[in-house]
Chains A and B, each alone.
Chain A
């Protein structure tokens, strides 16, 4: 929201500097995002009167001028401009001055032009950073010629209207009333404790026979509509003070009638529209557009509408897109002779939807989206009519239609001092409370215990005592808040739940296995499903889709984490990180029905990725460490996963249930990513395991008799697995508590398709000491069993 300092001063005396005002606004809740001094790049430029011109002796295109700059002396200046004559008053950039030049700042120094001394430069409007709205003639091709009554030898900046500050203020969403110069002036007056000067709204209403009825068919979308008929219009140009103000806020002058609507928009925050009465057929109807109805707006764009769009119509056609932009068919033209002014309140959501759906934004739609109050509609209409009269561009008539569905009775709040103090935690003097609210335009009647407060009609955001408390503390000053530490609150027990602690433990367990925690977006590309070679019917393709994603690559919610980690690996390898290990513990989103009829299931998954160093068994080891840390019994069996190597993939089970997968990345996937490093991935359904985490440790008695370890080497066929051998050993002898593989040997002597597996077998017995003979017996039993079940032979 851009607010010119000079304009603010119309409504309130400001005895402080712009910078001081900026600080005061900041502590009252209005952050000035940028404070710009318009004349900052134009320095040491003064007005001067040309007293003599003569041809340059050596250059046809140059003129040598003498210019009287008053207190700054008489200067000689060479110029290439052709519009400088004796007696002209011009801006003179003196020695060591700065002006604007092609988007930058240019330094001007005394020098010689073709051998003739030039003690500066005459300036064009462009070099001063202004256009015709600041100063008529600023856009001519040549030097800016100033009015004949301009004083000589004075700083050019006040003369052309750039001795001014622009406050770019961030106005919070609850304060649409501050989206205007006068709105901010109300705040400034309260902050500085200065009286507020309300803009004049008086005008003489001339009788008329013209009748322009207004019918509002959608009072919820258009709670208030005021129309006023202005006759005897003669379109002209606005005076400099109006044009300059528009220019300061970045608007161009169009014509006096149109300028008045824009001026009121900036001044009071009320968007207005002026229809050329001659192009209106009958009265105004505010209705929803019919499907397919078309309108061409002022900027000559055609839109096809739907019933979601509110349309201002005459009896035959749409004449304005409500709150967004007027129609071309009824716009003000140079020969407009009568005008119908509109000042209305349109529902913010309706304007927003129309504006977004059509991609058509305007200063009006921006204001309506933030909210315009019904009170200001009438205020603004009166102000516009006053300006019409003041500028003499038409005659306000007696014909006004005001269709209003909103109450204009101010809201009353009875607020006790105690309640306000209790919320703030400090005691604010009662008279201070009343004074603050009064300065902000509230009506206040103090009672013994509180205040009866009348809320100004433009403050639709205030409806309870906490709002008043906020108004009071932001003016009284937050520095009065004295920090206390929950002095009266109940003591509560806090901390993490068991499940939350388990997640932290999980992160640490995996981390201690050498993995770094990654953090990835919760969404990725639907193409990732193809990249991971998921078949068309794979359940993981059923993903929650974002309707308005930033891009397709961030458009589906993750159903498994592996694609994210794989992308991390690829990024790392491309950056030269040849080896690494990452993990992520995060939610996947599993929809019930699609489209969603209820919230999707959010399940925690744990995913690991290791590349460059190590192999399948390193990642499996990390998963085993995780299982051990949580007392889980996981089993691993050969399995398949579309994105993993068919020979190096294990399905992880807990009991019967599949809870995850570990494997080396499928070479086809790696090739598609131009990955030359080997990558091992694991994805574990953490949520499925959570319920099986060991609750507490229960001590087991130590064995009474020492256990005996025997080593066994058995030759088996290549396709016999370690798990089969271990299982066979443990099952064939009750005393064999554990069988652990420690070596696998393959060699010519064993024959093709054979391998020798060496295992430590631990025997233990609860009822007697184990003699060597007993152990030998058990050992033989195991050898027999291995032979019988797995065709194994002792090596």
Chain B
């Protein structure tokens, strides 16, 4: 009778030698441990055993049952591991495939530079003031010390619209509008679109300027250069310097052209700066007394400086853009390069 246990164990071994999946394993398990399985049959045999042998027989069956259960548990675990490994192998992905994400657009390079400039000057206490793009002759010229017969009007070819109005040629027009309402201390930045009747390889009939104005007591030409040095360092790099040289604008006196040391060669001379080491970047000067008077500000009490720069020019220098037309063609291959 004893060898029945060994036989069953042998049967188990044979039964589990080959199974393909968890279902076959389960079926095998049920053949031994199920309600109609071999063990149940063995338990039923207890009755045929003499009473004194029953406890020992029972213990043996129990032991066998545990053995079989352990055996199947081990096999089940083995199978789980195997199946998991297969599943994982099947789920493997090519991690070098592109990630999935929302496409993010870009800001126009002019907007980028405009924001950079505002950032530089806002930190110095400049407020931002935007005047109208269609202007009167008074604000664009006359109040800026450029009366009707002034030759400086020839410096800029103006677009006129009906009623004697014009498209502003310079953001300087904003100076007057601000100073009519606000008295010193003034630190103003005026960015915006300006228009000139010029359309060739290097000129666009519409471009953007950024005007800066400071009016207060004791403002000097040294302050102008100090502020512009800071601007140059922030925009073109910490090693940048500025150079002033005489120029002429009707609304400033003295007037200067401001060159920034070439950021491409560090001032040694290269094709970008045509070998001079300097790049012309903006015009500036001490606010003309007449301009202050026109706005009801006493020029004996207050002085100030103003500067104006072309945003496109700065953007072109900064990003190495060689053709101004690219800035208004809106080719997505161009715009898409200005990512953050």
Contact = CB atoms under 8 A, between A and B. Distances in A.
B162 interface: yes
A466 B288 contact: yes
B303 interface: yes
Nearest to A488: B218
Nearest to A474: B246
A380 interface: no
Contacts of A140: none
Contacts of B238: none
Contact of B332 (A370, A512, A580, A586): A580
A464 B248 CA distance: 15
Given A348-B151, A464-B289, A519 B327 contact: yes
A550 B219 contact: no
Contact of A517 (B111, B128, B136): B111
A648 to B, nearest CB: 23
A227 B239 CA distance: 61
B89 interface: no
A723 interface: no
Given A489-B185, A489-B219, A517 B225 contact: no
B163 A489 contact: no
Contact of B226 (A486, A522, A557, A595): A486
Nearest to B192: A587
Given A425-B222, A489-B223, A496-B128, A512 B104 contact: yes
Contacts of B134: 544, 557, 589, 599-600, 602
Contact of A173 (B167, B219, B242, B248): B248
Interface in A538-583: 544-550, 554, 557, 568, 571-572, 575, 577, 580-583
Contacts of A493: 125, 127
A577 B329 CA distance: 13
B22 interface: no
Given A425-B223, A470-B254, A587-B133, A545 B331 contact: no
B214 A518 contact: no
A371 B214 CA distance: 32
Given A424-B221, A481-B221, A492-B125, A514 B102 contact: yes
A581 B336 CA distance: 10
Nearest to B254: A470
B246 A478 contact: yes
A496 B217 CA distance: 24
B105 A492 contact: no
A175 interface: yes
Interface in B265-309: 286, 288-289, 303
A421 to B, nearest CB: 9
Given A544-B162, A596-B163, A495 B122 contact: yes
A519 B225 contact: no
Contacts of B185: 489-490, 492
Interface in B150-181: 150-152, 154-155, 159-163, 165, 167
B85 interface: no
Contacts of A733: none
B222 A510 contact: no
Interface in A307-337: none
A504 B108 CA distance: 12
Given A425-B220, A482-B222, A517 B106 contact: yes
Contacts of B55: none
B330 A582 contact: yes
| Residue among B105, B165, B199 having the largest count of chain A Cβ atoms under 10 Å | B105
Interface string B301-340: 0010000000000000000000000011111110110000
A348 B247 CA distance: 21
B141 interface: no
A583 B329 CA distance: 13
Contacts of A580: 332
Contact of A172 (B122, B247, B303): B247
A473 B221 contact: yes
Contact of B105 (A511, A596, A598): A511
Nearest to A30: B246
Interface in B205-234: 205-206, 214, 216-223, 225-230
A521 B159 contact: no
A497 B154 CA distance: 35
Contacts, number: 266
A492 B243 contact: no
Contacts of B331: 571-572, 575, 577
B211 to A, nearest CB: 15
Contacts of B219: 486, 488-489
Contacts of B105: 510-517, 581, 583
A459 interface: no
A764 to B, nearest CB: 30
Contact of B245 (A27, A347, A484, A568): A27
B187 A492 contact: yes
A65 B163 CA distance: 76
Contacts of A26: 245
A478 B244 contact: yes
Given A423-B303, A546-B159, A582-B330, A494 B221 contact: no
Contact of A571 (B125, B247, B288, B329): B329
A771 interface: no
Interface string A16-44: 00000000001111000000000000000
Category for how many chain A residues contact B: 35 or more
A486 B205 contact: no
Interface in A417-473: 422-426, 464, 466-467, 469-470, 473
Contacts of A521: 205-206, 328
A494 B121 contact: yes
A519 B124 contact: no
Contacts of B127: 492-495, 497
Contacts of A28: 246
A349 interface: yes
Contacts of B161: 544-547, 557, 596
A347 B220 contact: no
A347 B148 CA distance: 12
A352 B167 CA distance: 21
A14 B221 CA distance: 32
Given A348-B149, A478-B243, A522-B133, A422 B220 contact: yes
Interface string A196-214: 0000000000000000000
B197 interface: yes
B32 interface: no
B103 A514 contact: yes
A133 interface: no
Contacts of A581: 105
A500 interface: yes
A550 B152 CA distance: 21
A495 to B, nearest CB: 4
Given A484-B222, A489-B216, A518 B330 contact: yes
A597 interface: yes
The residue among A349, A495, A512 with the most chain B CB atoms within 10 A of its own CB is A495
Given A486-B214, A486-B219, 4 more contacts: A29-B246, A349-B148, A371-B151, A582-B330
Interface of B: 102-108, 110-111, 115, 118, 121-128, 130, 132-136, 148-152, 154-155, 159-163, 165, 167, 184-187, 189, 193, 195, 197, 199, 205-206, 214, 216-223, 225-230, 242-248, 250, 253-256, 286, 288-289, 303, 327-333, 335-336
Interface of A: 26-29, 172-176, 347-349, 352, 369-371, 422-426, 464, 466-467, 469-470, 473-474, 478, 481-497, 500, 504, 507-508, 510-523, 544-550, 554, 557, 568, 571-572, 575, 577, 580-583, 586-587, 589, 594-600, 602
Top 9 closest pairs, chain A to chain B, by CB:
A425-B220, A29-B246, A425-B222, A349-B149, A470-B254, A595-B162, A596-B163, A172-B248, A483-B226
16 contacts: A369-B151, A423-B220, A466-B289, A473-B221, A474-B254, A484-B225, A490-B216, A495-B128, A513-B105, A516-B332, A518-B330, A519-B328, A546-B159, A546-B160, A571-B331, A594-B162
